[in-house]
Structure 1
Amino acid sequence: MPLKIKKRDNIWHYSGTVAGRRLRGTTRTSDKRTAQRVAAEVEAKAWQSHLDGPGATLTFAQASIAYRQAGHSTRFLNQVEDYWRDTLVPSITGAAIRQMALKLYPCHSNATLNRQAIVPAQAIINYAAELEWCAPIRVKRFKVNAETKTPASIEWVEAFSSQAYADGLPHLAALCLFMFGTGARRGEACALTWDDVELFKKTAIINQTKINERRVAHLQSPVIAALANIPSNRNPDEFVFKYASGESVGQVWKNVIKRAGIDELSPHCCRHGFATGMLRDGYDAKTVAASGGWKDAVTVMRYYAHALEDPTVTDALFGTKSTQTSK
């Protein structure tokens, strides 16, 4: 039976049964002709969904709502959602997603295009595919030239921290030690509040925004001492390191490096140093991943394992130590 419209409180509403489904709702208009068009569109979509499956009328907005409700990371979603809105998911192609990335971030690197546009759009659609609402989608990533990153060593961290203390920046020294000791990302560390820290228990709760999980990190003695030396009232909601975001660390970090006369490494190199140091100390990749908050051991081995540039390491096969110093 076709949908009928009825006026209530000066607004037209539709109701009726289409393809065995009872439908009712508001047209959000007081104009009868517009209301009739709205009701006809609702009826047409209902028939299309009945004949072609739920994916035929699935919009990106609907898929995104389900993705959010499932508790997945909302990082970078807003701009992608605003771009697609009520676009039907079956009409979205991999090429269209690449074009979206270029339009949203025209002056950014390929790595940013992949991370902030392609990944979230693909994740939303493929989550809908897991619910059997549509077909999965594959999107070709923009080519990114892999950079050789230098992990921070304990010697570098100590030199940086000493200079930060000398500059009257105990919170920056503690930040460096904390990232190196826990493997925390810069943004995760800056979001740490005193409510997340238990100095006597030697633990800190880190909210991992990238994978939308929380983990309890162990705090080593040098890290505890650095945290204890930060001037603070220890208010539960107060940021431990006093930075509003990871981005606000950049310039002051570079200034300390310049005055210390050490290699220019980014804050992320401390997290890099955590993984590389643990691996070189003989811990397996799965343990390193769990301790530092990586999604899996494969990621650790792919991006954080570095071969020692020392040909004499093979002496270990005969029970003797390397005769060279690793780089």
Structure 2
Amino acid sequence: MPIKLKKRGSVWYLRGSVRSIAVHKSTKVADEQSADDVRIVTEHALLQESIFGKAAVKTFGEAVASYLESGGSDRFLSPLTKEFGHFHLRHITQSGLDSFARTLYPTATPETRNRQCYTPFIAVWNHAVKNGWADVRLWQRPRKPKGTNVVRIRSARSGQAPVDYERAALFVSKMSPAPAMVLTALFYTGLRPIEALALEAADVDVSKRWLVVRKSKTGEPRGVPLHSFLCEWLAPLVERGGLLFRGPRGEPYKEVQQGGGGLKTAINGARKRSGIKDISPYTGRHSVSTQLVINGIHPHIKDQILGHAADSMSRHYTNVPQRPLIEAIDTLPVPVAWRALPWIAAPLEWQSRLAEGTGKRTDLLQ
């Protein structure tokens, strides 16, 4: 049955099928000529799909939309979508991606182009592959030129390097309880800040010492072990339901990227009160990774904890607590000063309190 136009109200709709692919959708236009143009384009696309499969007609823009809907991060995707959004996936080439990356970041290091262009692009591509919209490809990432001894001097930025746990404990002790809980979780899980702030209580099982990240950087869910220290105080937050971590007024935190977002004010305040300037939300992730290496944890176990492992078997067991990972995370040290923080014993009672010298309140004074 060929596709025909039918009017409903002021808008034209498409009805019919092309080679057994049914169509029943709005053209979203009221003009009949424009609606007929939509019909012609739709018929052609469906004919191509019926012959060559979805990979022949899906665009990068459609893949991005599906990737975001599945929980993928939108970070750095805007320029990629603007450049490749209308391209069919099968028409995007390695040379095209390389050329765009050089144009977008002409003076950037290979590491920057990799992080801000290739990584988000490949995440979307892999999502499209999973949906059957694109073929598996081994995309080449930029590399440092070989045979050079040039050392690039970079400006120091907090969060790029690990800190020892005694130093982290001092910093956290100068924070209000609500953001201190978030930072403590980051230092004892290795989660990305954006993952921690999106955690739902329903995805945390204190008794099994396991949590599930539904929205990760790669768009795939993953399981993360809970350190025994977190299990000492997380239960009341889990029992409350909803978002696991909330601000002092009970509001959700905004997404955190690098040193900003919902924790920016709390981080800046703790820096002033502690005199420690090299800690940001991402410091916890770097510290977990480094400390696990120091503790002799196998690289495969470390990568699974941090979400670097991307094999299908790891994803298959997302909801199954894995003893080796739990034992590994428990090797992270817990300074006495951290365990002695007053909110540890009653996190819900202390959540709305503010650090000494914050605003007009001194709730942390005893």
The TM-score range, normalised by the shorter chain, is 0.5 to 0.7
1:287 and 2:295 are equivalent in the alignment: no
Task: Report the Cα distance in structure 2 between the residues aligned to 1:267 and 1:4, rounded to whole angstroms.
Answer: 54
Which of the residues 263, 278, 281 maps onto 1:249? Answer: 263
Q: Residue in 1 aligned with 2:275? A: 261
Task: Report the Cα distance in structure 2 between the residues aligned to 1:279 and 1:16, rounded to whole angstroms.
Answer: 60
Note the alpha carbon deviations across 1:28-63, whole angstroms, 9 max, x for none: 667665565555445555665677776444433444
How far apart are residue 115 of structure 1 and its match?
Answer: 4.0
Q: In 2 relative to 1, CA 59–150 (structure 1 residues): closer, same or farther, beyond 3 Å?
A: closer
**Greater CA deviation, 51-60 or 240-249?**
51-60
1:187 and 2:186 are equivalent in the alignment: no
Q: Residue in 2 aligned with 1:73? A: 72
Note the alpha carbon deviations across 1:238-286, whole angstroms, 9 max, x for none: 5435244433212421332343233522232222222221221222122
8 Å CA contact 1:55–1:133 kept in 2: the answer is yes
Larger helix percent: 1
How far apart are residue 86 of structure 1 and its match?
Answer: 4.0
Output the TM-score relative to the length of structure 2: 0.56
Q: Residue in 1 aligned with 2:87? A: 87
How far apart are residue 174 of structure 1 and its match?
Answer: 3.2
> Given residue 156 of structure 1, which amino acid in structure 2 is its aligned partner?
R
Which of the residues 163, 168, 192 maps onto 1:157? Answer: 168
**Gaps in structure 1 of 5+ consecutive residues:** 299-327
Report 1:14-29 matches (<5 A).
Answer: none
* Larger RCO, structures 1/2 (Cα 8 Å, 6+ apart): 2
> Given residue 269 of structure 1, which amino acid in structure 2 is its aligned partner?
T
1:219 and 2:230 are equivalent in the alignment: no
Q: Residue in 2 aligned with 1:278? A: 292
**Gaps in structure 2 of 5+ consecutive residues:** 145-151, 248-252, 312-366
> Given residue 188 of structure 2, which amino acid in structure 1 is its aligned partner?
G
8 Å CA contact 2:3–2:23 kept in 1: the answer is no
**Greater CA deviation, 110-119 or 260-269?**
110-119
8 Å CA contact 2:14–2:39 kept in 1: the answer is yes
8 Å CA contact 1:93–1:137 kept in 2: the answer is no
Q: Residue in 2 aligned with 1:306? A: none
Q: In 2 relative to 1, CA 216–51 (structure 1 residues): closer, same or farther, beyond 3 Å?
A: closer
Note the alpha carbon deviations across 1:176-231, whole angstroms, 9 max, x for none: 332222222222233345555566x373525252243242422333x455658x9x
Q: In 2 relative to 1, CA 58–179 (structure 1 residues): closer, same or farther, beyond 3 Å?
A: closer
> What percent identity do the matched residue pairs reach?
23
Task: Report the Cα distance in structure 2 between the residues aligned to 1:23 and 1:274, rounded to whole angstroms.
Answer: 52
CA-based RMSD of the aligned residues comes to: 4.8
Q: Residue in 2 aligned with 1:170? A: 177
Q: In 2 relative to 1, CA 112–6 (structure 1 residues): closer, same or farther, beyond 3 Å?
A: same
Q: In 2 relative to 1, CA 52–195 (structure 1 residues): closer, same or farther, beyond 3 Å?
A: closer
Bigger radius of gyration: 1
Task: Report the Cα distance in structure 1 between the residues aligned to 2:246 and 2:30, rounded to whole angstroms.
Answer: 56
8 Å CA contact 2:203–2:212 kept in 1: the answer is yes
Q: In 2 relative to 1, CA 45–143 (structure 1 residues): closer, same or farther, beyond 3 Å?
A: same
Which of the residues 274, 296, 299 maps onto 2:309? Answer: 296
Task: Report the Cα distance in structure 1 between the residues aligned to 2:201 and 2:33, rounded to whole angstroms.
Answer: 60
8 Å CA contact 1:186–1:268 kept in 2: the answer is yes
**Greater CA deviation, 148-157 or 84-93?**
84-93
Task: Report the Cα distance in structure 2 between the residues aligned to 1:281 and 1:214, rounded to whole angstroms.
Answer: 23
How far apart are residue 153 of structure 1 and its match?
Answer: 0.9
